Structure 1
């Protein structure tokens, strides 16, 4: 089994460049879905060893619904507090999961997923959704990935 330290190949400074690229890409466009679509495409190009990247957006007060993504078809609705995405949204915090099989209540949308990171999208105090990235490898995501993706999301929410 691999661990993140075996192949941590994304230096911290690359995340700064990624966030600047996102800001330039989305500048001048106000459509939320267009911007989320381009953000998921940009992340899909940036990362290797992932099998899904995209967004779940709040639908009402207690449910997430599938938004723009790159990857295989996915679960459409996730109740708040359920699975990694629903828990991240409910608690308003990033969740890094080295082994999804060890996460209580994990929702297996893609049986190939082994690790996951979910970052909440909060704008002006309002929970608007989550960024979800899955990998077919255990321990794929690191604390540097978490920090970098939180920075990415900060830029993103200014454009949605």
Structure 2
């Protein structure tokens, strides 16, 4: 597993804040954030958002190969993040019960719920073709990025 340079995340968070600070549109924010993450972090094969629509997750802005369009709450890693309300850091997606393989190359995954005042509105989903790609530091820093997005929704 590779760990990004500790200098990478402060810059990433600074860039994320600048990209979303004056933009009112959620889709535009998610589009830029997914591109920023995908092109800044090594060893990723997908980075993007699924948005809550009528009780299920629907594909939102992303970078990477084509993806599953709809994910029921409670299914797969993304649906589990919504059902539990907790970040899911999965070292080996093939060992995750009910994993939904949108891209067979994915080996590990990090999914972080995105909330507004009413509850979970989306998830940030990041996949890697490397087993155990995501560290506790990756999780903490990307949760901070999601927090920036959440504060921009208020």
* Structure with bigger RCO (C-alpha 8 Å, 6+ apart): 1
In the alignment, what sits opposite 1:77?
70
**What stretches of structure 1 of length at least 5 have no aligned partner?**
none
SS where residue 152 of structure 2 aligns? coil
* Count of residues in correspondence between the two structures: 153
1:125-144 alpha-carbon deviations (Å, 9 max, x no partner) = 51101000000110110000
- The CA deviation at 1:27 is 1.8
Q: 1:121 aligns with which of 114, 117, 122?
A: 114
Q: Deviations over 1:32-75 (max 9, x none)?
A: 111110000110111111100000010113x1000000000000
Contact 2:4 2:41 in 1 (8 A): no
1:30 lines up with 2:24 in the alignment = yes
What residue is the counterpart of 2:14 in the other structure?
20
Gap regions ≥5 residues in structure 2: none
State the TM-score, normalized to the length of structure 2: 0.95
CA distance in 2, matches of 1:25, 1:77: 27
